[in-house]
Chains A and B, each alone.
Chain A
Amino acid sequence: MSPSPSGSQARRGLYLGVIIIALIAGSVTSPYVTRAVDSAVRDGQNTIAVIEIDGRMTIDTAETVSNQLYAARQNDSVEAVVLRVNSPGGTISAAESVYMAVNATARQKPVVASVGSIAASGGYFSLLPAERIYTTPGAPVGNVGVIGVRPAEDGAEERIVSGPDKIRGGTKDDFRRQVQSLQREFVGAVMFHRGDELMISQAQVAHAKVYIGARAVQNGIADRVGSLHDAIAYAAARAGLERYTAVSGSAVARTSSTVSLAVAAQNETGPAALDAATVDRRRILALYGQSDTPAGVVTNATG
């Protein structure tokens, strides 16, 4: 026997009512479900990326660090970044590149710095955007300044050049201004990021002194005496994590589903600036210590 029309309508009404009740109930429970799933997912992925800035910085090492920072930004499982710095600096362009990458990362995730053996000159410039700087008590920190190295007058061999500044890249005056501009940039970055913490004046910063970690903490060049683990723990706390895993920056870059920039990096780099012994050219270094080339304009007042 087929159902009567009134029976069919009643059934449709019943189904509609059930659907409406299910929609309302689902809407009420949805936020809780979302939170629970989110928490469950994140519990399995809470990661602190430890990215190392090691040795003299060239554009090659800067690209590696920048790529790892890019991967850390793009990877949602990375909740915070710890920069482990053991570097006396290097070329100014390398330091600037890493600084920009750290700055971009610090806008998205907590970034904490940990100084191991040294963070001087460009090594210090790179970590400036970090919200807290941990250092070992004896590590040299600071040395805010640049060194300009200009080739000596030509004369060793006969050459034909297309312009008066082709070999040396400009006059001594031009070079002075370049060094001055980069000095302003470096000191300006220190004042911008650390001005509220500093107990020394801008002029004292510009002297380019290097401080041992304990003194650097006292005068605001750094924040805390502490180890890498202290830095990681603080980064985790800042990201609101109770359970986390610390992984290396290279591992983050490897496992990241985002584009690896390693190939692009190879295309962009020339010979490492500090190792180019065959070409004597104008260089500006953000480096603590003597450059390889004796001649040059040295801006550090302590020199």
Chain B
Amino acid sequence: MRPGEWARLVAVFAIVFAAVSVSGVVISGVFMPQPPSEQPTSPGVLAPERNLAPTPVEAGSIEVNGTTSQQTILIDAAHQNTQVRDRAQVLTDVLTSNGHQVSYYNPENKIGQFENRVSEVDAIVIIAPTQRYTQAERTALNDFVNEGGRVVLFTEPKRTSVNLFGEVTTRVRTESILTSYAISAGTGYLYNLNGNVGTFQTIAATSASNQRLAENVENVTLYTSTSLTVGDEATPVLETQPTTNSSTLRSNASYTVAARHGNVVVVGDSEFLTEQNYRKGDNEELVGNLIEFLLNTD
């Protein structure tokens, strides 16, 4: 072979060798990188079926059993009671439709009037008063109860809100009334992060005794409740699930949220009474039982 022929052979070898060697580089994408394909970015953590809160069951109506002659129920609205009209509306509707009289107590000048009014009525409803009762009013209330009059008192935890002037704390003033009935109310709210039925302050409660007041009440939904401490002379009516916590105590326990002492019943929440909330869970059963208690047909 001639020298030129050898050179051509070497050139052919070099070209083919180089082409094959570099083909791996080209094929591997070093010189032609493909952008990684985008994966769906919504992981299972955000899946709606995993996170969406269920809609609470709303069913039933308030039934008032037992018969009685027409009675007059006084609803206290004179002690800066929290949203008393909204919260008493369902009670008012049911009592009125059952032939009873409902009267709101909210005089311009209340000096001496409360004592006079309580002697004219059969039962009293007190909803979250933020103004303290006078000594004379407390005495009149005690006399009323001792003479067989019935009282249902709804209390609530301390509330903090913010307005233009800063933080405002609203405290319910029921302690001086409750001490007469071996019941005291906490200042903190209850919450449950392990099985609440709304936000953390929406908690479930169930019957704590076999009293008539707790009949058919297996699953009450309370919205902003405080705990009650009950002495020997009083009886717990409703209690929370054991996973319930207190904002002040910060410990899990089954807290009492409704209790009875003779002719007085105390409930740690009043928001469950509103038209939006009274049909949640067994709330309507509880409201019915409280009305029967007021009417003394229980």
From residue A95, how far is it (CB to closest CB) to chain B in Å?
11
Which of B24-32, B118-126, B203-211 is the contact stretch? B24-32
Q: B24: which A residues are within 8 A, CB to CB?
A: 30-31, 33-34
Beta-carbon contact of B22 and A18 below 8 Å = no
Q: A299: which B residues are within 8 A, CB to CB?
A: 199-200
Q: B243: which A residues are within 8 A, CB to CB?
A: 203
From residue B101, how far is it (CB to closest CB) to chain A in Å?
31
* B109 part of interface (Cβ distance < 8 Å): no
| Secondary structure call for the A interface | helix
Q: B17: which A residues are within 8 A, CB to CB?
A: 22, 25-26, 29
Q: Which of B1-22 contact A (CB under 8 A)?
A: 5, 9, 12-22
Which of B49-57, B136-144, B148-156, B282-290 is the contact stretch? B49-57
Beta-carbon contact of A301 and B28 below 8 Å = no
From residue B164, how far is it (CB to closest CB) to chain A in Å?
8
Asked if A37 meets B25 with Cβ closer than 8 Å, knowing A180-B198, A181-B53, the reply is yes
Q: In the complex the two chains form, what is the Cα distance from A127 to B47 in whole Å?
A: 19
Q: In the complex the two chains form, what is the Cα distance from A185 to B271 in whole Å?
A: 27
Q: B180: which A residues are within 8 A, CB to CB?
A: none
Beta-carbon contact of B53 and A184 below 8 Å = yes
Q: A41: which B residues are within 8 A, CB to CB?
A: 30
Q: B45: which A residues are within 8 A, CB to CB?
A: 185, 188-189, 192-193
Beta-carbon contact of B42 and A301 below 8 Å = no
Chain A residue at minimal CB-CB distance from B9: A18
Beta-carbon contact of B18 and A26 below 8 Å = yes
Q: In the complex the two chains form, what is the Cα distance from A290 to B162 in whole Å?
A: 10
Among candidates A25, A31, A100, A177, residue contacting B55 with C-beta atoms closer than 8 Å: A177
Fill in one digit per residue for A31-45: 1 if any B CB lies within 8 Å of its CB, else 0: 101100110010000
| Chain A residue total in the interface (Cβ 8 A) | 58
Beta-carbon contact of A177 and B276 below 8 Å = no
Beta-carbon contact of B41 and A101 below 8 Å = yes
Among candidates A22, A33, A96, A290, residue contacting B12 with C-beta atoms closer than 8 Å: A22
Beta-carbon contact of B12 and A19 below 8 Å = yes
* B112 part of interface (Cβ distance < 8 Å): no
Beta-carbon contact of B16 and A176 below 8 Å = no
Q: In the complex the two chains form, what is the Cα distance from A104 to B161 in whole Å?
A: 40
Chain B residue at minimal CB-CB distance from A129: B43
Q: B55: which A residues are within 8 A, CB to CB?
A: 177
Beta-carbon contact of A184 and B50 below 8 Å = yes
Q: A25: which B residues are within 8 A, CB to CB?
A: 17, 20
From residue A1, how far is it (CB to closest CB) to chain B in Å?
13
Beta-carbon contact of A103 and B202 below 8 Å = no
Beta-carbon contact of B41 and A30 below 8 Å = no
Q: Which of B31-73 contact A (CB under 8 A)?
A: 33, 35-36, 38-39, 41-46, 50-53, 55-56
Q: In the complex the two chains form, what is the Cα distance from A74 to B36 in whole Å?
A: 6
Among candidates B15, B21, B43, residue contacting A103 with C-beta atoms closer than 8 Å: B43
Beta-carbon contact of B41 and A29 below 8 Å = no
Q: A189: which B residues are within 8 A, CB to CB?
A: 45-46
Fill in one digit per residue for B183-209: 1 if any A CB lies within 8 Å of its CB, else 0: 000000001011010111010000000
Fill in one digit per residue for B235-252: 1 if any A CB lies within 8 Å of its CB, else 0: 000000001000100000
Q: In the complex the two chains form, what is the Cα distance from A73 to B163 in whole Å?
A: 46
* A276 part of interface (Cβ distance < 8 Å): no
* A23 part of interface (Cβ distance < 8 Å): yes
Q: In the complex the two chains form, what is the Cα distance from A25 to B17 in whole Å?
A: 6
Beta-carbon contact of A26 and B21 below 8 Å = yes
Beta-carbon contact of A206 and B193 below 8 Å = yes
From residue A159, how far is it (CB to closest CB) to chain B in Å?
23
Fill in one digit per residue for A269-295: 1 if any B CB lies within 8 Å of its CB, else 0: 000000000000000000000100011
From residue A110, how far is it (CB to closest CB) to chain B in Å?
14
* B131 part of interface (Cβ distance < 8 Å): no
Asked if A301 meets B191 with Cβ closer than 8 Å, knowing A26-B16, A290-B162, the reply is yes
From residue A86, how far is it (CB to closest CB) to chain B in Å?
24
* A207 part of interface (Cβ distance < 8 Å): yes
Chain A residue at minimal CB-CB distance from B195: A203
Fill in one digit per residue for A228-266: 1 if any B CB lies within 8 Å of its CB, else 0: 000000000000000000000000000000100000000
Chain B residue at minimal CB-CB distance from A109: B36
Beta-carbon contact of A11 and B30 below 8 Å = no
Question: What 9 pairs across the A-B complex have the smallest Cβ distances?
Answer: A26-B20, A22-B16, A30-B24, A34-B24, A180-B53, A100-B41, A294-B162, A104-B41, A177-B53
> A residues within 8 Å of B by Cβ?
11, 14-15, 18-19, 21-23, 25-27, 29-31, 33-34, 37-38, 41, 73-74, 76, 96, 99-101, 103-104, 107-108, 171-173, 176-185, 188-189, 192-193, 202-203, 206-207, 258, 290, 294-295, 297, 299, 301
Known: A202-B193, A206-B193. 13 other contacts (CB 8 A): A19-B12, A22-B17, A26-B17, A26-B18, A26-B20, A30-B21, A33-B22, A38-B28, A96-B46, A176-B202, A180-B196, A184-B51, A207-B193
